[in-house]
Structure 1
């Protein structure tokens, strides 16, 4: 995640716990700021207890200064942004003042320089934490494709039984609850949101699968212009542009029923496109 971590985020992650397994259901892994500090737990004094509230925070630790102590780090092999390399890594659990609780800090030195991660789970494997953080690029790329290519977040499902709220609501003020008789209708509306998004995610997966299995065929069908190919494997956008033309050709080959005529008039009203794709060969299976 790219934003600065806050104590409220970690408290929320810690509140979602499994009663059966007694473990958190959500693990938060965030990159720490350069000036982030932690604290050891205060030592319990022996003998007579001093007057006043007992100390909670002990010695202060500036995390970036720990990189100067090479004896704390171990050499391991790890996948960093898709490449296997040798890194130096260590971890320690320290108190963090915004949460008032222990946070697992993972420190690593990779080919890209030193990095400090904060984990809400005290049992998190340090190597796994680094690999999960590096995998965030794939997640961000997937959301970019879902939003800008597939349009899965442009749903327009609505019901008048949903309570109206301000676009800039004030926290914990003027909250409106739906009537009990409207709850089932609102649940169906929410399920429609989820199904629309999941259908788009499945369609994106199919584009990726077609790109892997029909790489040469997709490039032979592609009628666009690319100044320079960034890779041999066609992107999801390239596959989509090819499949749109192929599916349009198949669409007009159906029997011209009333429903099909409406679809063709609304979506496929350009005859030039179909005349162009009629001359294209059939999509063939890749050789083994």
Structure 2
């Protein structure tokens, strides 16, 4: 189950749940109770608690509170998280009514790192540039209708090919994510070696730690030089050994049985 955490507008309004009357009369019972402007809840600081929270990589003391209210666009209860940080007040909306308020705030502050990771996966690693296709998939139009493509795929054999195609998409993206993590690990552990081998031009270094793009540039250059070297490194030797390994040739069979070799007898004189 996915949990959605988004930021609410300053003029966002919500409703308390309607109090059901003891004697139900004719007609549908009320769903919405008293209307409230969510930002007005910041005036009631006695309901807030002071806790330590990680805000954009820095630990600070924040005042935070949570309240479940009805929101008309969804027609159901939404958890509203109200927090006062050094950057000012913030209102978050969470789809999970059991979500911890502090965890929701920290997850929202981590969105910058998540968006940066997707930018690196797209522009540095190229993980979303896959071109896997199968004839079992129908051609997509620019404005496809709902559930149009899978309904056309009738046979089970075609559905199996479609699932394999989707699995190839996911594996390609996962391998790219693993490669991005390895670049980050190399940047942290071997930053001096990376800067020493870097032959590009940078007007100014923004930080001591090399970026993923810098590490990729260095690793690519080292692999190309190692590939054409007379004494390649361990990685290239493994690749060459995998490609040029000798295949085991099975003996020829006649029917279902192998030819038995004639036995030899040694006579001592």
Q: Which TM-score bucket, shorter chain as reference?
A: 0.7 to 0.9
**Candidates 154, 160, 166, aligned match of 2:129:** 154
TM superposition shift of 1:171? 4.1
| Partner in structure 2 of residue 18 of structure 1 | none
- Is contact 2:15–2:71 with CA below 8 Å preserved after alignment? yes
**CA 1:171/1:31 → structure 2, altered by over 3 Å: closer, same or farther?**
same
TM-score, scaled relative to structure 2: 0.81
| Partner in structure 1 of residue 205 of structure 2 | 229
TM superposition shift of 1:58? 0.4
TM superposition shift of 1:113? 1.2
- Is contact 2:14–2:35 with CA below 8 Å preserved after alignment? yes
Counterparts of 1:96 and 1:159 in 2: how far apart (Å)?
A: 44
**CA 1:255/1:234 → structure 2, altered by over 3 Å: closer, same or farther?**
closer
Please give the per-residue CA displacement for 1:77-114, whole angstroms capped at 9, x wherever unaligned.
10001100011100000111111111110000111111
Please give the per-residue CA displacement for 1:255-275, whole angstroms capped at 9, x wherever unaligned.
99xx98xxxxxxxxxxxxxxx
Counterparts of 1:182 and 1:169 in 2: how far apart (Å)?
A: 20
TM alignment of 1:88-167, pairs within 5 A: 88-167=63-142
TM alignment of 1:61-100, pairs within 5 A: 61-100=36-75
| Partner in structure 1 of residue 252 of structure 2 | none
Counterparts of 1:175 and 1:128 in 2: how far apart (Å)?
A: 38
| Partner in structure 2 of residue 30 of structure 1 | 6
Please give the per-residue CA displacement for 1:132-158, whole angstroms capped at 9, x wherever unaligned.
111111111111000000001101111
TM superposition shift of 1:253? 2.0
Please give the per-residue CA displacement for 1:222-276, whole angstroms capped at 9, x wherever unaligned.
11222221111000001011111101111112699xx98xxxxxxxxxxxxxxxx
SS at match of 1:210: helix
TM alignment of 1:195-214, pairs within 5 A: 195-214=171-190
- Is contact 2:187–2:209 with CA below 8 Å preserved after alignment? yes
RMSD of aligned residue pairs (Cα, Å):
2.0
TM superposition shift of 1:27? 1.2
Please give the per-residue CA displacement for 1:169-226, whole angstroms capped at 9, x wherever unaligned.
2446687421213111111111111111111111111100100110111111111222
TM-score, scaled relative to structure 1: 0.76
SS at match of 1:142: helix
Larger radius of gyration: 2
Matching of residue 252 in structure 1 with residue 228 in structure 2? yes
SS at match of 1:248: helix
SS at match of 1:54: coil
| Partner in structure 2 of residue 186 of structure 1 | 162
TM superposition shift of 1:45? 1.8
Task: Structure 1: state its 5+ residue gaps.
Answer: 1-24, 261-288
